[in-house]
A and B are shown apart, each in its own frame.
Chain A
Amino acid sequence: MFNDGWIQLAMVLAAVLLLAKPLGSYMARVFTLQKIPVMDRVLGPVENLIYRISGISKGDQQGWMVFTASLLMFNLLGFAFLYALQLVQHSLWLNPAGLPHVPSALAFNTAASFITNTNWQNYAGETTMSLLTQMLGMTVQNFLCVATGLAVLAAFLRALAAKGTGAIGSFWVDTVRSTLYILLPLSIVMGLALASQGVVQTLRATANVHTLQQPTGAAATQPAAGIQTIAMGPVASQESIKELGTNGGGFFNVNSAHPFENPNALTDFLEMVAMLLIPGASCITFGEMVGDTRQGIAILATMTIILAICALLCIHFEQQANPMLPANVAQAHTALMSGGNMEGKEVRFGPANSAIWTVEATATSTGAVNSMIDSYSPFGGLIPMWLMKTGEVIYGGVGTGLTGMLITVMVAVFIAGLMVGRTPEYLGKKIGAYEIKMVSLAILIPPALTLVGTAIASVTPAAVASVSNPGPHGFSEILYAMTSQANNNGSAFAGLNGNTNFYNIIGGLLMLAGRYWSMVATLALAGALAKRKPAPPSVGTFPTHTPLFVAILAGTIVLISGLIFLPALALGPIAEGLSKVVH
Chain B
Amino acid sequence: MWNAILRPCLVCFVILAVLTGIAYPMLMTGAAQLLFPHQANGSLITSDGKPAAHASQAAGSALIGQSFAGKGYFWSRLSATSPAYNADGSSGSNFGPTSPNLLSEVTGAVGALELADPKNKKPIPIDLVTSSASGLDPDISPASAYYQVGRVARARHLSRGAVKALVAQCVRGRWLGVFGAAHVNVLRLNMRLNKLSAMRH
A334: which B residues are within 8 A, CB to CB? 143
A213: which B residues are within 8 A, CB to CB? 66-70, 73, 190
User: Are A201 and B33 CB-contacts (below 8 A) given A237-B28, A343-B130, A473-B96?
Assistant: yes
Residue among B19, B28, B86, B131 with most chain A CB within 10 A:
B28
Stretch with Cβ within 8 A of B (4 or more), from A263-271, A297-305, A418-426, A515-523:
A263-271
A228 touches B85 (CB 8 A): yes
A191 touches B91 (CB 8 A): no
Q: Once the chains are docked, how many angstroms separate the CA of A349 from the CA of B175?
A: 10
- In-complex Cβ contact of B191 among A143, A212, A268 (8 A): A212
B66 touches A228 (CB 8 A): yes
Asked if A353 is at the interface of the complex by the 8 Å CB criterion, the answer is yes
Q: Once the chains are docked, how many angstroms separate the CA of A147 from the CA of B181?
A: 36
Stretch with Cβ within 8 A of B (4 or more), from A72-80, A152-160, A440-448:
A72-80
Q: Please, what's the 1-or-0 string for A39-76, where 1 marks a CB less than 8 Å from any CB in chain B?
A: 00000001001100111100000100010011001100
B90 touches A184 (CB 8 A): no
Asked if A325 is at the interface of the complex by the 8 Å CB criterion, the answer is yes
Stretch with Cβ within 8 A of B (4 or more), from A105-113, A372-380, A396-404, A558-566:
A372-380
Q: Please, what's the 1-or-0 string for A65-100, where 1 marks a CB less than 8 Å from any CB in chain B?
A: 010011001100110010000000000000000000
Residue among A184, A192, A228, A468 with most chain B CB within 10 A:
A228
CB nearest to A327 among chain B residues: B123
A207 touches B41 (CB 8 A): yes
B35 touches A196 (CB 8 A): yes
Asked if B118 is at the interface of the complex by the 8 Å CB criterion, the answer is no
Q: Once the chains are docked, how many angstroms separate the CA of A180 from the CA of B181?
A: 37
B133 touches A143 (CB 8 A): no
B138: which A residues are within 8 A, CB to CB? 259, 348
A212 touches B98 (CB 8 A): no
Q: Once the chains are docked, how many angstroms separate the CA of A375 from the CA of B130?
A: 11
B131: which A residues are within 8 A, CB to CB? 343-344
Q: Once the chains are docked, how many angstroms separate the CA of A229 from the CA of B81?
A: 13
A371: which B residues are within 8 A, CB to CB? 133
Asked if A322 is at the interface of the complex by the 8 Å CB criterion, the answer is yes
How big is chain B's contact interface, by range? Answer: 35 or more
- In-complex Cβ contact of B11 among A50, A211, A471, A495 (8 A): A50
Q: Once the chains are docked, how many angstroms separate the CA of A470 from the CA of B94?
A: 12
Stretch with Cβ within 8 A of B (4 or more), from A17-25, A27-35, A132-140, A454-462:
A132-140
Stretch with Cβ within 8 A of B (4 or more), from A171-179, A286-294, A408-416, A537-545:
A171-179
Asked if B125 is at the interface of the complex by the 8 Å CB criterion, the answer is yes
User: Are A140 and B16 CB-contacts (below 8 A) given A202-B33, A344-B94?
Assistant: yes
A268: which B residues are within 8 A, CB to CB? 179-180
Q: Please, what's the 1-or-0 string for A260-292, where 1 marks a CB less than 8 Å from any CB in chain B?
A: 100111101100000000000000000000000
Asked if A338 is at the interface of the complex by the 8 Å CB criterion, the answer is yes
- In-complex Cβ contact of A81 among B17, B60, B70 (8 A): B17
CB nearest to A235 among chain B residues: B40
B29 touches A232 (CB 8 A): no
A469 touches B99 (CB 8 A): yes
A339: which B residues are within 8 A, CB to CB? 125-126
Stretch with Cβ within 8 A of A (4 or more), from B101-109, B148-156, B157-165:
B101-109
Asked if A197 is at the interface of the complex by the 8 Å CB criterion, the answer is yes
- In-complex Cβ contact of B175 among A179, A195, A266 (8 A): A266
Q: Once the chains are docked, how many angstroms separate the CA of A192 from the CA of B35?
A: 9
A580 touches B98 (CB 8 A): yes
Residues of B37-93 whose CB lies within 8 A of A:
39-44, 47, 55, 58-70, 73, 77, 85-93
Q: Once the chains are docked, how many angstroms separate the CA of A209 from the CA of B176?
A: 33
Asked if B22 is at the interface of the complex by the 8 Å CB criterion, the answer is yes
- In-complex Cβ contact of A172 among B12, B90, B96, B110 (8 A): B12
Q: How far in angstroms is the closest Cβ of chain B from A122? A: 14
Q: Once the chains are docked, how many angstroms separate the CA of A7 from the CA of B178?
A: 7
Q: Once the chains are docked, how many angstroms separate the CA of A147 from the CA of B126?
A: 43
A326: which B residues are within 8 A, CB to CB? 106-107, 110
B181 touches A54 (CB 8 A): no
Residue among B15, B39, B123 with most chain A CB within 10 A:
B39
- In-complex Cβ contact of A336 among B22, B85, B182 (8 A): B182
Q: Please, what's the 1-or-0 string for A176-190, where 1 marks a CB less than 8 Å from any CB in chain B?
A: 100110011001100
User: Are A495 and B96 CB-contacts (below 8 A) given A197-B39, A212-B59?
Assistant: yes
Q: Please, what's the 1-or-0 string for A186-223, where 1 marks a CB less than 8 Å from any CB in chain B?
A: 01100110011111111110111111110000000000
A192 touches B31 (CB 8 A): yes
B102: which A residues are within 8 A, CB to CB? 322, 324-325, 343, 375
B97 touches A341 (CB 8 A): yes
Q: Once the chains are docked, how many angstroms separate the CA of A179 from the CA of B136?
A: 35
A350 touches B92 (CB 8 A): no
Residues of A300-343 whose CB lies within 8 A of B:
322, 324-326, 328-331, 334-343
User: Are A324 and B103 CB-contacts (below 8 A) given A53-B15, A195-B36?
Assistant: yes
User: Are A53 and B39 CB-contacts (below 8 A) given A329-B124, A343-B97, A348-B180?
Assistant: no
A188 touches B24 (CB 8 A): yes
A353 touches B180 (CB 8 A): yes
Q: Please, what's the 1-or-0 string for B112-147, where 1 marks a CB less than 8 Å from any CB in chain A?
A: 000000000001111101111111111111111010
User: Are A236 and B181 CB-contacts (below 8 A) given A210-B59, A343-B95?
Assistant: no
A201 touches B12 (CB 8 A): no
Q: Once the chains are docked, how many angstroms separate the CA of A344 from the CA of B5?
A: 47
Q: How far in angstroms is the closest Cβ of chain A from B164? A: 12
Q: Once the chains are docked, how many angstroms separate the CA of A350 from the CA of B98?
A: 20
Asked if A231 is at the interface of the complex by the 8 Å CB criterion, the answer is yes
Stretch with Cβ within 8 A of B (4 or more), from A250-258, A431-439, A483-491, A528-536:
A250-258
User: Are A260 and B42 CB-contacts (below 8 A) given A143-B16, A237-B29, A338-B141?
Assistant: yes
29 contacts between A and B (CB under 8 A): A49-B15, A50-B11, A50-B15, A54-B7, A55-B3, A74-B13, A136-B17, A139-B25, A140-B21, A196-B36, A200-B39, A207-B55, A209-B55, A212-B66, A212-B187, A254-B92, A268-B179, A324-B103, A329-B110, A329-B123, A330-B143, A335-B182, A343-B93, A346-B132, A347-B77, A353-B179, A372-B133, A576-B97, A576-B98
- Top 6 A-B residue pairs of the complex, sorted by shortest distance between their CB atoms: A265-B180, A350-B181, A495-B94, A257-B133, A265-B175, A337-B141
Known: A137-B21, A184-B20. 8 other contacts (CB 8 A): A139-B20, A143-B16, A192-B31, A202-B41, A234-B25, A258-B90, A375-B93, A469-B96
